[in-house]
Structure 1
Amino acid sequence: MRNIVHRHLGKVVAGAAIAVAGTAVMIGVTLPGTAGAEETGGAGGRSARQAAGPERAVAPGVVEEVPDEGEKGTGRDPLTDDELRRAEKIALSRQLFQGSESVDGKRGPQPLGVDLAEPETGDTGDPAAPRRADVTFYDYQDDTLVTRTVDLGTGKVVATGTQHGVQPPLSRAEKAEAAGLLIADPLGAGLKADYKDATGKALTSPDQLQLSGAVYRAAPGAQPAVLDRCGEHRCVRLFPKIKNGPWVDMRSLVIDLSARKVAELGH
């Protein structure tokens, strides 16, 4: 078994399991194997971002036309690929698109997932019941979780809900953005050094890693003040793995995606 490398902040981990303290309570987290290291999630920021530094430029964008229905499922069948794409396009109205921001600072909310909606009262067991999908987005402009229910038959949004302080699992894009912030930050020096030791190459992009991650929520006194808003903000603890290589221990670091800051937890 490989020894843990202690020379750098990012320590190479030979074992496949790491105990993670997500808040003040110690919670055991088992790191996935290589095949599952890139799993995706199922769904005050503005003032904090301004305090953190110059605001990011917001790139222009265009809301696409709703696509044709394509292949459709029936009843409680899983959503087809065509239905997944159609639901997300229907849910992303021009108003939502123009008034929101994604994890990388572009216009439009961050897509998190599309799921078959639960049947309404009276629809259970009815094969002709409307087929609906719940589409979830995260708006980094004001740290809001947006859920829109789409009727796939009519092509209309039938319900919209917004929540603050709700943090669903991370999407692949969010984990990649967190890794990019870490690589660019001085606190990422250990990760880059370990990558260089393991591969002989420089770590310059999240694409060079396999990424797992978990949402981090603040607990009173359990982290430095810069992370006290985690939970209201969208914060990440990353578990990076060098492709075809070992895991790298970055448990002591948290990336606040809303404020675009990296901080180290106390020991």
Structure 2
Amino acid sequence: MNANTIAAAIRQGIATGEHPYGSRLPTVRELADQHGVSQQTASAAYAVLAALGLVRTDRRSGTTVTAGRSADAHLGTFAPPDLAAAVAWKPNQGGEASEETTLVRQLDAPEHMAAWGISAGTAVVERTRIRSVDGAPVQHKLTVLPYSVASRTPEGYEGIPPMLAPVGAEPVRPPRGVRMADWLGWDVSRTEAAITAEPMDQAAASALGVPEGAPGFRVVSIARNPQGDTIFATVTTAPLHHRVTLDIVG
């Protein structure tokens, strides 16, 4: 048995929940004895898992699982977009799903947002959400909107604009059967999505409990109005052992 085979077995256990998020795995010696291999081979197996962002090893605490069980990032592009029919995300094999807003802030758009159609210096609002299954974080989602879009309120609505609600506030949802974009008058006509596998940035890695630079899926979605202006952009990051799915409707 080689290191990759051992790593694959442990990875499967993480994906199915056999090794829960935050649990401690056997020591290198114990793993070597368990599989009848050298400690060098056992250590190499943990190195493979660490490179994937699934475990973290240090001398004091040993090897700890840093990923939850496998989950889906279920995203959709609709023509015309019908977000009311979309399932934004869901666990892959059951479990209790939860979502928390962890950051809401206003800032001037940095230069990298120009790639999303938001000019540098534009006043924008950033919202960050963490999605979890059974308490283990599985997705980091950043949403960016021009302030002129984020500050809109539905007709007859009184209170803080829904997209400016602070962390900890009760989420404001549109009437049943009405998608948020229509309720807020955003006039979304199309959504573009790009999926890549690349190292996680510091914010996503920290939120997901993995080392910065660990590989992950990065899903960038950009919603535009009929004139081609960006209404909002989202960046969803998930560890590679999760699954990303799309539905194309229309």
- TM-score class, shorter-chain normalisation, is under 0.3
Alignment TM-score, normalising by the size of structure 1: 0.23
TM value normalised by structure 2: 0.24
Which structure has greater strand proportion?
Answer: 2
